[in-house]
């Protein structure tokens, strides 16, 4: 029984890593050369937060940190900044995962949007603090809107083909 649970957790971790790498591969492909007017959503952060809220044991913090550090390196962003912010954001979501289980999806979507906004502000503040170049505010806001709009689609795709749903609340462990 324990071996089956460990195998299920390992299979989930491998699937998470493969999906993340597929998203990263698509971001690296030159599909739209030239100037980007409308930035696309950050599907990697949608996948990470959605996975942490549905199966937190399958997305350990070290895997998330390593994957986003790899993304920072390949996308030529400040080394480790976005990875550190994502780790803090996903760990904040992981701590509240048990409380969010019973809430409807619209509330979860709103909370994830607030979390994404705080992560964006933290990144922009840190870049400004160290006088590093920041993307234009308009593009950052457009990417935030696109990422927030893409979150339900990513979660829907996680639920339908992958069968990844929120963990059920055990009535005996429910806090009153």
Q: Does some domain include residue 71?
A: yes
Give 19's DSSP letter. Answer: H
Tell whether the model's pLDDT for residue 25 goes beyond 90: yes
More confident residue, 164 or 101: 101
Q: Does some domain include residue 89?
A: yes
Handedness of CA 92, 94, 98, 103 (dihedral sign): positive
Mean pLDDT on 160-166: 70
Q: Does some domain include residue 174?
A: no
Tell whether the model's pLDDT for residue 173 goes beyond 60: no
Model pLDDT, residue 174: 40
Tell whether the model's pLDDT for residue 106 goes beyond 60: yes
Structural domains in the chain (count): 1
Mean of all residue pLDDT scores within the chain: 89
Q: Does some domain include residue 130?
A: yes
Tell whether the model's pLDDT for residue 34 goes beyond 50: yes
What's this model's pTM, rounded to 2 decimal places? 0.88
Q: Does some domain include residue 175?
A: no
Tell whether the model's pLDDT for residue 176 goes beyond 60: no
Q: Does some domain include residue 168?
A: no
pLDDT band at 171 (very low <50, low <70, confident <90, very high): very low
Q: Does some domain include residue 113?
A: yes
Tell whether the model's pLDDT for residue 119 goes beyond 50: yes
Q: Does some domain include residue 32?
A: no
| Domain around 148 | 2-26+42-159
20-53 burial: b if 16+ Cβ within 10 Å, else e: beebbeeeeeeeeeeeeeebebbbbbbbbbbbbb
76-94 pLDDT per residue, tens: 999 999 999 999 999 999 9
């Amino acid at each position: 029984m324990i071996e089956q649970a460990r195998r299920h957790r390992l299979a989930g971790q491998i699937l998470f890593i493969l999906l993340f790498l597929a998203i990263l591969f698509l971001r690296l492909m030159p599909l739209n050369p030239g100037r980007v007017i409308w930035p696309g959503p950050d599907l990697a952060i949608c996948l990470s937060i959605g996975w942490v809220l549905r199966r937190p044991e399958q997305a350990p913090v070290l895997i998330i940190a390593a994957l986003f550090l790899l993304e920072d390196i390949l996308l030529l962003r400040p080394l480790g900044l976005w990875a550190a912010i994502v780790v803090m954001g996903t760990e904040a979501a992981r701590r509240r995962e048990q409380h969010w289980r019973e809430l409807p999806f619209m509330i979860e979507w709103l909370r994830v949007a607030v979390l994404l906004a705080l992560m964006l502000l933290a990144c922009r503040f840190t870049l400004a603090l160290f006088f590093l170049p920041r993307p234009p505010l308009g593009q950052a806001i457009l990417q935030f809107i696109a990422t927030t709009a893409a979150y339900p689609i990513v979660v829907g795709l996680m639920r339908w083909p992958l069968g990844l749903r929120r963990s059920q609340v055990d009535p005996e462990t429910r806090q009153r």
